[in-house]
Structure 1
Amino acid sequence: MSIETTLVSRVNEILKGFDEYWVDGVLNKPKVIDAIKDYDHKLLKALLSDEVIKETYSTNVEGAIIFKQEEFIDFFRYKDYWNDSYTRYSNEIGLANEGRYLRYNTDVVLNFPYKDTVLEGGMKKDDSKREEIYYHSILAKEEIDLLFEPKVLANPKRYSINNVEEVTDFSENDNLILKGNNLLAIHSLKKRYAGKVDLIYIDPPYNVKSSNNTFLYNNKYNRSTWLVFMQNRLKAAKELLTPEGAMIVAIDENEQAYLGVLIDEIFPNYEKHLITIVHNPRGIQGTNFSYTNEFVYFIIPKGKKTIIDRKLSEDEISWSPLRNWGGESRREDAKNCFYPIIVKDNEIVGFGDVTPDDVHPEKNEVVDGYTYIYPIDASGVERKWRYARQTVEQIKDMLKCVESKDGILDIQIGKDFGQYKTVWQDPRYDANGYGKQLLGKLVPDNPFTFPKSVYAVYDCLYAVVGNKKDAIILDFFAGSGTTGHATMLLNDNDEGNRKYILVEQMEYVESVIVERMKSLIHDDQLKKQNSSFIYAELMEQNSSFIRLIEEATEESELEELISDIKENAFLNFKVEIDRITNEDEDFKSLSFNEKKKVIIASLDNNQYYVPYSEIDDSTYGIGEGEKSFNHSFYQGGMKDE
């Protein structure tokens, strides 16, 4: 007998001792579920008295027995407790006869487990803060393949400084803002961008347990689910990177260590560097410490020089004489290091030739308004410059002319670059001033309470692609669009042509991200370097019904939706759709939220969005302009799946 058969038998045996859960000999499942959710002491005590149930659905934490409530409810809700349940086939893949599964015992069940954390990952509503937002659906391999096929991109528009217009083609120079489930979007992007992305920067849900929730994403779900959620996205995104490409992941202390282990597993041939960024100098109050920082993982190819040198601010530069001093610093120690540096109006304008051995100049010599400065010290000793004549022009930007109190000019050197350190602290990283307030000026009345400082993101991007003016940068947790803003600032700084791809699935894509990038297009302080962008959406199919189900607040709304779904939606053949009606006693007895879950379960998982392979199906009413855009986007890529 299988463990599942044993569990079913033992749970049934225990429940027989509770008359309040039975009606005319039929178990009232919703009432049992409500009791479990309310942690009914008598029921839990009875369940945990059974060693098999206790071992399967509890854990011991320092002597305290913790009941795995959600796992038990999932098991109880979907296992076969009575023969006429409309959910009786929801967890099985197996043999069927005339459209229905064969009724066989649980000794043999063909399962293809895949914890996808996709199907309820839409996060359409900010206030849907359930404790566990993803359900681990069992999907067959062919279902996974179909689920991850490229999707139709709907309603494409190009936003430029001049206007907004419908677009029928996509080019290599286009920036892209994409609305839709980000894992499905990543798989769609693979068709065009596999092996082409230079940098991925993401700021995912931090899964915080405190009230200091700085994200609009749901941050309240189990760590194991969060790690699966992240694993699937990181694995898929990795395929988009060039061989030299890097990934940057922002995170806080709550999941930092666990994320690090996951990164080691997914990126075995990469270096992993953990950087601390002080983003909230005022601190977030904790029980014992006030947190002022968060973390950023830099994931870079092993053994390669990926991180460029950091530009130092003026107050960080340490200046010293270009003239050598001490041992082996005289002119005769390196004759090609004795030459004049030419200055006009205290600015370096050129370099003279190496001075002949028999010429002994003064430290400063003025000729036709130009001052020729030699490496001679205050005692008149002829020394040498620290750079030979053949290399000094390469470091001209590191030099400056200084004047002493007695009017003597000299040359100093100061490195304006240096290696990045592992702790970043700068007033510009303050998420209040350069995140929230800055976003508020660009997009008034936006819902974000603590968006990233654009300069913190800018410096992260610069560290990897500061010298790659044509880099492609992807952010599939786009949030308020800070990565796109930072990319524009990079291009503005060096007249680059970097492209950004922003993916976001929340409803504020157009009201916040698009509006932010539109505001930047019309910002007079920017040079408009590669500022236009294309906005498109994964074309919804069943996902539109899911949104309506989640938004429903009345029984009458659900009844109307059920009728619409039965007529127009793509249905899950495992669910007996005719049983989903209030005329059915089992369905009628469910709570309002339980009914929502059952209706959502009736929808075909693979039809949440329209596959690109179905673009010519007249059922979807896709116009010729949209078809042209999709063909341009998918067939224009260099990578074939």
Structure 2
Amino acid sequence: MKNIFDTVADLLLTNDKYKAEDGKLLKAVVYSDVMAMNETLLTLLLSNKDVKETFFKDVQGTLVFDKQKFAWFMESKEFLPDSYTSYTNKIGLTHNGNFISQTNDVVLDFPYKDCVLEGGQDKDDQKRSEIFYNETIASDEISRMLAPKVFTNAKRYTAVGEKDLTGELDPDTIQVKEETGITFNDDDNLIIKGNNLIALASLLKRYEGKVKCIYIDPPYNTKNDSFNYNDSFNHSTWLTFMKNRLELARKLLREDGTIFVQCDDNEQAYLKVLMDSIFGRNNFQAEIVWVLEGASGYKSLVNNYVRGHESILFYSKSNYFNFNKIYLPYSEKQIKRFSKLDDSGRRYKPITKTRRLYLDEAKGVPLTDVWTDIASFQTIVNSPERTGFDTQKPEKLIERIIETLTTTHDLVLDFHLGSGTTAAVAHKMGRRYIGVEQMDYIQDITVERLKKVLEGEQGGISKAQNWHGGGSFVYCELKEDANTLITTIQNATEDTIESVKASIYADERIVPYLTKQELADADKDFENLTLEEKKQALIKLVDKNKLYVNASDMDDESYHVSDDDKKFTNSFYKGV
């Protein structure tokens, strides 16, 4: 006999309006019609005796629809938890639900566009089923997920040295120090370990409207297994992943702020339209083509043109922003076209009568949107600047972006920090910066690189910026509530694993975020699994992304927030 969940689902799926192309139910479409008391929906629900008795009440001969009860029913985990999207399971350009063949206005639609995706970036996350939280149906879950979080393990790294008579730091005396129990200050640079969506939401509390320039080099969605992070999202999932983060990034920008997003041709066209919708088409400034100088597509043995460039999409938040124009030196061929300056010093005398070169052009060739003068690491294998990070970008590339759109002390943000190039360049250029990275290599690669910057390392742009060391940065992590539980699982024996499982299934901080299917999968043949398989099944249930501790719960003793963590977290949020 069918239960009420299956009965309602089967009934709704008889109407094509509520059914996606893959046969799943479009719950948000149903939800919208429930709120509007849509006549077609009510007629459909009344057509089934069980549904009618469950959701309609006879009041003096009149049937009254219990709208709130039906809404709660739809929000329950048991009712098709994977059917959260109101957008069709088809990607295309639409306006008001109609594809562009029917309209002149262009908006990018894709499955789960009306959802929030936490989006883990670890390669292990490729194996998990991502949960999409619909903005209407799951608003409570989204609010809790994006609430300000507790910070932990805060350290301030500083370079302390004596100055010689020239006023430069003596590299022989510089020491890197760590300080615990610290507070956060306005001038501090910041490196955060944690999910970047959740970190961005936490940063809003202190930095909304304060960031001058954002540069990110996100996953390209290439299914390239050589990357350390998960770079194999399907198309619509990648778009949702980017949309959620770019919307928060826009809020962090100053009114005269700008953003640069690097990508390749795999998603460039869709990313351009997505960013048009978030930042405004009028605020698109340029597509920078970075020529790689080497055959980047040779590994794939392509049958046509080998990709030789990457794109950097450049947007502003408004029409008001300052641009510091850059000039490149003339080539030998260009120099031969012009004679020396005339006596007035105001302009070059042209060799021919067809062209006159004015004073600003005496500085060199104005920089175009095609950058051919910055070599990629594909052709500089032994560069001392390299960290061993597969997708590392040259410091000179980031220097150019920061140089054109910021001045000293401006705030720069990179929430796909990777090996730390953006932070390293910003530090050497005297800009403040925030970097966010989720992967564990942040300790061994990113932080270690920045410590060397403090010490005055001479790689990358150091000589060009006359960099000799100094400054500081604060490192911290979003506090996870999963570490203790995961350790308990990993230390479990055959005698204790069942009790550990029971505690997880009873933990109200975990179970509300799990679907019925996830619990069933973990429970399936549990007793017949090996001990290691049991541990892995339980660890999968403990999704770290959902277990960051909210700052509002900081005084709850069950979260074990230390006094140092409270001190730092309070200083971060109350220093606004």
TM-score (norm 1): 0.61
- 2:396 paired residue number: 455
- 1:238 paired residue number: 250
How has the CA–CA distance of structure 1 residues 482 and 214 changed in structure 2, closer, same or farther, with 3 Å as cutoff?
farther
SS of aligned partner of 2:72 = coil
1:266 to 278, 286, 303: 278
Q: Which amino acid aligns with 2:395?
A: V
- 2:372 paired residue number: 425
- 1:30 paired residue number: none
2:114 paired with 1:168: no
The Cα shift of 1:273 comes to 1.6
SS of aligned partner of 1:287 = coil
How has the CA–CA distance of structure 1 residues 485 and 214 changed in structure 2, closer, same or farther, with 3 Å as cutoff?
farther
- 2:130 paired residue number: 134
How has the CA–CA distance of structure 1 residues 584 and 296 changed in structure 2, closer, same or farther, with 3 Å as cutoff?
closer
Where do residues 297-336 of structure 1 align in structure 2 (5 Å cutoff)? 297-304=313-320, 306-313=322-329, 315=331, 318=335, 320-323=339-342
Where do residues 509-520 of structure 1 align in structure 2 (5 Å cutoff)? 509-520=442-453
Where do residues 359-438 of structure 1 align in structure 2 (5 Å cutoff)? 375=343, 384-386=344-346, 415-426=362-373, 428-432=374-378, 437-438=383-384
SS of aligned partner of 1:415 = helix
SS of aligned partner of 2:222 = coil
2:148 to 147, 150, 160: 150
SS of aligned partner of 2:117 = coil
The Cα shift of 1:256 comes to 0.1
How has the CA–CA distance of structure 1 residues 273 and 214 changed in structure 2, closer, same or farther, with 3 Å as cutoff?
farther
> For 1:102 and 1:565, how far apart are their aligned partners in 2?
17
How has the CA–CA distance of structure 1 residues 299 and 618 changed in structure 2, closer, same or farther, with 3 Å as cutoff?
same
SS of aligned partner of 1:299 = strand
How has the CA–CA distance of structure 1 residues 102 and 144 changed in structure 2, closer, same or farther, with 3 Å as cutoff?
closer
- 2:171 paired residue number: none
How has the CA–CA distance of structure 1 residues 570 and 102 changed in structure 2, closer, same or farther, with 3 Å as cutoff?
closer
SS of aligned partner of 2:131 = coil
1:537 to 451, 471, 477: 477
- 1:198 paired residue number: 212
Tell me which moved more, 580-589 or 237-246: 580-589
Where do residues 178-193 of structure 1 align in structure 2 (5 Å cutoff)? 178-193=192-207
The Cα shift of 1:553 comes to 13
Deviations 1:323-350 (A, max 9, x none): 2xxxxxxxxxxxxxxxxxxxxxxxxxxx
The Cα shift of 1:311 comes to 3.4
Aligned residues: 459
The answer on whether the counterparts of 2:156 and 2:182 sit within 8 Å (CA) in structure 1 is: no
- 2:297 paired residue number: 284
How has the CA–CA distance of structure 1 residues 320 and 258 changed in structure 2, closer, same or farther, with 3 Å as cutoff?
same
How has the CA–CA distance of structure 1 residues 223 and 544 changed in structure 2, closer, same or farther, with 3 Å as cutoff?
farther
Q: Which amino acid aligns with 1:234?
A: L
> For 2:187 and 2:531, how far apart are their aligned partners in 1?
49
- 1:216 paired residue number: 228
Q: Which amino acid aligns with 2:501?
A: I
- 2:552 paired residue number: 613
- 2:311 paired residue number: 295
The answer on whether the counterparts of 1:198 and 1:244 sit within 8 Å (CA) in structure 2 is: yes
The answer on whether the counterparts of 2:455 and 2:469 sit within 8 Å (CA) in structure 1 is: no
> For 2:267 and 2:504, how far apart are their aligned partners in 1?
39
The answer on whether the counterparts of 1:270 and 1:301 sit within 8 Å (CA) in structure 2 is: yes
Q: Which amino acid aligns with 2:418?
A: G
Where do residues 86-97 of structure 1 align in structure 2 (5 Å cutoff)? 94=72
2:410 paired with 1:477: no
Deviations 1:255-299 (A, max 9, x none): 000000100110115224211101252332222111111100001
Q: Which amino acid aligns with 2:259?
A: M
How has the CA–CA distance of structure 1 residues 3 and 421 changed in structure 2, closer, same or farther, with 3 Å as cutoff?
farther
Q: Which amino acid aligns with 2:431?
A: R
Q: Which amino acid aligns with 1:513?
A: T
- 1:623 paired residue number: 562
The answer on whether the counterparts of 1:540 and 1:609 sit within 8 Å (CA) in structure 2 is: yes
2:94 paired with 1:117: no
The answer on whether the counterparts of 1:616 and 1:622 sit within 8 Å (CA) in structure 2 is: yes
Q: Which sections of structure 2, spanning at least 5 residues, go unmatched? A: 26-69, 87-111, 160-174, 349-358
How has the CA–CA distance of structure 1 residues 576 and 122 changed in structure 2, closer, same or farther, with 3 Å as cutoff?
closer
> For 2:503 and 2:77, how far apart are their aligned partners in 1?
29
Deviations 1:478-523 (A, max 9, x none): 111111122133x2xxxxx311111001111111100111122223
The Cα shift of 1:607 comes to 5.1
> For 2:513 and 2:230, how far apart are their aligned partners in 1?
29
The answer on whether the counterparts of 2:293 and 2:372 sit within 8 Å (CA) in structure 1 is: no
> For 2:152 and 2:229, how far apart are their aligned partners in 1?
24
> For 1:540 and 1:275, how far apart are their aligned partners in 2?
38
How has the CA–CA distance of structure 1 residues 633 and 101 changed in structure 2, closer, same or farther, with 3 Å as cutoff?
closer
SS of aligned partner of 2:144 = helix
The Cα shift of 1:177 comes to 0.7
Q: Which amino acid aligns with 1:243?
A: E
The answer on whether the counterparts of 2:121 and 2:230 sit within 8 Å (CA) in structure 1 is: yes
- 2:501 paired residue number: 562
> For 1:627 and 1:455, how far apart are their aligned partners in 2?
39
> For 1:273 and 1:558, how far apart are their aligned partners in 2?
57
- 1:247 paired residue number: 259
SS of aligned partner of 1:184 = helix
The answer on whether the counterparts of 1:148 and 1:184 sit within 8 Å (CA) in structure 2 is: yes
SS of aligned partner of 1:613 = helix
> For 1:590 and 1:146, how far apart are their aligned partners in 2?
35
The answer on whether the counterparts of 1:214 and 1:450 sit within 8 Å (CA) in structure 2 is: no
Where do residues 544-623 of structure 1 align in structure 2 (5 Å cutoff)? 562-563=501-502, 565-566=504-505, 570-573=509-512, 599=538, 608-623=547-562
How has the CA–CA distance of structure 1 residues 288 and 609 changed in structure 2, closer, same or farther, with 3 Å as cutoff?
same
Deviations 1:45-91 (A, max 9, x none): xxxxx998xx8555xxxxxxxxx9xx79xxxxxxxxxxxxxxxxxxx
> For 2:547 and 2:391, how far apart are their aligned partners in 1?
31
